[in-house]
């Protein structure tokens, strides 16, 4: 149902984000990669889109298979872009359950260090 709604307006980033996160939770990492690539082009410097894009990719990276492994790098690319854009919401990074799969990565600790307290 979310996919049908997102198809109605491919420029609707909220709809695309909802589909991507739902697919990530279903373990469909290849579909997540495709949607994330399109969102990257639309996101620009929109922090909300970047954060949600990172969340969906992070969820997908927790799965198995080569697609899941490929989702981790763009998840960190989006998180790094967030920090470069001035993201300061340390609590969201530390508590959003969608980021659980990447929290053990040393790059996550580096992101938190860059944000500061």
Contact status, residue 39 vs residue 74, Cβ threshold 8 Å: no
pLDDT of residue 12: 64
Burial 2-13 (b: 16+ CB within 10 A, else e): eeeebeeeeeeb
Predicted local distance difference test score (pLDDT) of residue 8: 46
Whose tokens are 């399109």? That residue is 38
Is residue 87 within 8 Å of residue 114, measured between CB atoms? no
> d(Cα 13, Cα 111) in Å, to the nearest integer?
25
Identify the pLDDT of residue 4.
Answer: 53
For 60, residues 6+ apart whose C-beta sits below 8 A from its C-beta are: 23, 24, 27, 28, 29, 32, 33, 67, 68, 71
Flag whether the pTM goes above 0.85: no
Q: What is the pLDDT of residue 18?
A: 77
**What is the residue-level pLDDT of the chain in tens, covering all 117 positions?**
555 554 545 566 777 777 777 878 888 888 888 888 877 777 777 888 889 889 888 988 887 788 878 889 999 999 999 999 999 999 999 999 999 999 999 999 999 999 987
């Amino acid at each position: 149902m979310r996919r049908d709604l997102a198809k109605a307006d491919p420029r609707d980033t909220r709809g695309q984000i909802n589909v991507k996160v739902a697919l990530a939770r279903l373990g469909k990492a290849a579909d997540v990669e495709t949607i994330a690539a399109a969102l990257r082009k639309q996101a620009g410097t929109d922090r909300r889109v970047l954060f949600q894009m990172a969340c969906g990719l992070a969820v997908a990276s927790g799965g198995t298979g080569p697609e899941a492994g490929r989702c981790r790098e763009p998840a960190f690319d989006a998180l790094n872009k967030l920090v470069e854009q001035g993201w300061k919401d340390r609590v969201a990074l530390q508590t959003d359950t969608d980021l659980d799969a990447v929290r053990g990565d040393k790059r996550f600790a580096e992101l938190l260090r860059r944000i500061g307290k």
